[in-house]
Amino acid sequence: MSEKVKIGIIICDRYRNCAGEKCLRALREREGAFSIYEGKDVELVGYTTCGGCPGGNIEYAPEEMKKNGAEVIHFATGMVVGYPPCPYISYFKKFIEEKYKIKVVIGTHPIPQKYYTTHMNLGTWNTPEWKEMIKPTLTDKKTRLSYD
DSSP sequence for 38-103: TTSEEEEEEEEE--STTTGGGGTHHHHHHHTT-SEEEE-THHHHSSSPPTTHHHHHHHHHHHH--E
Rounded (10°) CA dihedral 2, 46, 107, 24: 70
Which helix H or strand E contains 12, and what residues bound it? Answer: none
C-alpha span between 82 and 1 (Å, rounded): 34
Q: What does the pLDDT read at residue 2?
A: 60
Domain that holds residue 119: 4-146
| Mean pLDDT score, 32-49 | 96
When divided into structural domains, the chain yields a total of 1
* 69-109: pLDDT as tens digits: 999 999 999 999 999 999 999 999 999 999 999 999 999 99
Q: What is the CATH number of the domain that holds 81?
A: 3.40.50
Whether the Cβ atoms of residue 8 and residue 44 lie closer than 8 Å to each other: yes
Q: What does the pLDDT read at residue 143?
A: 97
Q: What does the pLDDT read at residue 109?
A: 98
Q: What does the pLDDT read at residue 1?
A: 46
Tell me: pLDDT of 49 over 90: yes
* pLDDT mean across residues, the chain: 96
